Structure 1
Amino acid sequence: MTPGTQITSDSDMDTVLEEFKQRHERRNSIGSAKYSCSLPECGATFKRLDQLDRHEYHHTGIKKHACAYEGCDKTYSIVTHLKRHLRSTHERPDATVKKTVKCALEECSKMFISVSNMTRHMRETHESPRVYPCSHCSAKFSQKLKLKRHEIREHTQEYPFTCSKCSRGFYQEWQCQSHEPSCKQYECPGCPKKFDKWSLYTKHCRDTLHGKNRHKCDRCECAFDKPSDLKQHIEVKHKEAKKQEEETSFTCTEEGCGKSYSYLRNLRQHMLTAHSGRRFECQTVDCGRCFSSAQNLAKHLLRDHKDGKVKKDKKPKATESNPRKRRRDAGRSKHSQLSKLACLQLDKEEEEAVREREPLALEKVTQSLQDDPVEELLAQTLQDEEEVD
């Protein structure tokens, strides 16, 4: 029937119903299977794009619709939610729109931007709220995702995504992918346990004494908890092997030297400086210092001739606040009065002994003076001093 034709009989009504049924079937056949799941093992098809987005989000857990505005990091699993965010946040002419519409239920104090948002809130929260009960306990949730997380965390422990290194579970795939690059495991040497934190690993080793095998001896099967214990074990039990290792070091062949080095370059440096007489002289004017190696000469140039001039060491002058330290032998003569009068040349130790008037030293000096007749008077004077003491 053409549009605008009046229905006057039952046959006209049957014709209208038949045409409506045909149009409805044609519309469903044209719009069916418009979107299909991207996972090849799934094969599900959907009429609407938001249905496909919701379905794929349950597969991957990744919100693939991100806001393109600079500084906004919002992401959504359904494209219609992203469009709603753009309209309400970025495309609204007045960005400071406030929530002025209150919930129609007096007990509820929530505010909304528009009447349509308030109507949807009334329908979903107060009139016919969706309740998802837990199949394992009496808990109830308003969202299916919250119910799923509750059942996994509290009851089944079967996470949809797990780390391949530490077997840690995650609700969404992107959480697992961001965790795996930084995942590091510490394996206990005494048991099959693994730890993702060093503090937990060390605490476990202390409590169970499994950490004693961390420092193993490379010459036997012994193992120790501390490096010092391993070092002591090698010195006691493997002394001969250690001695052989030391014999493989590089020893100087010059007579009377006997120095040994762990590296051949150190032995060559020793031969150049100690036995060949090679010295590295500073070429700066008025310096004339010599060094045993080029490295020491370079340090000297950098430290003392940085500006091209000779750097002289200046001792700080004594002041009232910083007085100069007094010497221990200050005010004392370096030679005893006896050696001065007798014109004796004594060693440093003998001078000290005579100054302290030690009996053996005084007796030795007396004997030397008695051998010289000219010094008899001085010897007599020395004997008189001994008797007085």
Structure 2
Amino acid sequence: MKAQQHKSTCTEFIFCGECHQTFSKISKLKKHSLEKHNKPLILSCSVCQKEFRTKSKLERHFASHESPVTHSCEDCGKTFKHKRDMERHQEQHTEEKKTKLKCNFCPREFYRKHDLDRHVENIHPAKAPYRCELCLAGFGSVEQLEKHLPEHAATHPHICWECQRGFRTVQNLKRHLVLHSDERPFSCPVCKRGFNRKYDMFQHMRIHRTERVECKLCDRKFVSGDGLRKHVRKKHS
């Protein structure tokens, strides 16, 4: 049985994933899960949904979401917690540099897709209002965008009939289709707000935390380390 818990130092919201009953202690939730649902307790990270059998392992894992970013890709600026992840990411830029990418609106060519996308966004925003959701390439008309979409057919063969977005697997398509539904089967146990995806509900529940992460440069406070990092990159870099 799954159970959700927020940040390890903030346990005001420990609740059963089966019936959403809330508890003040993990031990009480464990007892409840065995007696009421006849299932062992599984703790899930509220950020990435990874599952753990013990509170201590969940706490160690959760700290990884709050650790500062230390490695930045020189090509696109994307940041990583671990150097090996950044090096693995940079391999894709090596492949990109082998082929020049031509702008659809002027003679400029680029080695990196990131640079081409930034060029179109800054230089030709009015000419490229239609964006491919899979690769973010810009196009001047719906016809040009539709002509481009088949290029993704081999890697994203499962198409949403509502918005024409493609997905790699049927399971991913099914998860996406929930967004087009009016159903809200997942309710926040605190404020009862409804969501069509469990992940969105867990993300929303961050706003109910009393604990905040403070920016040391301007004293602004955020509900998560991710929000703080975005703020620092935008306002203080």
- TM class by shorter chain equals 0.3 to 0.5
Greater fraction of residues in strand: 2
Greater fraction of residues in helix: 1
Max radius of gyration: which structure?
1
TM-score (norm 1): 0.22
TM-score (norm 2): 0.32
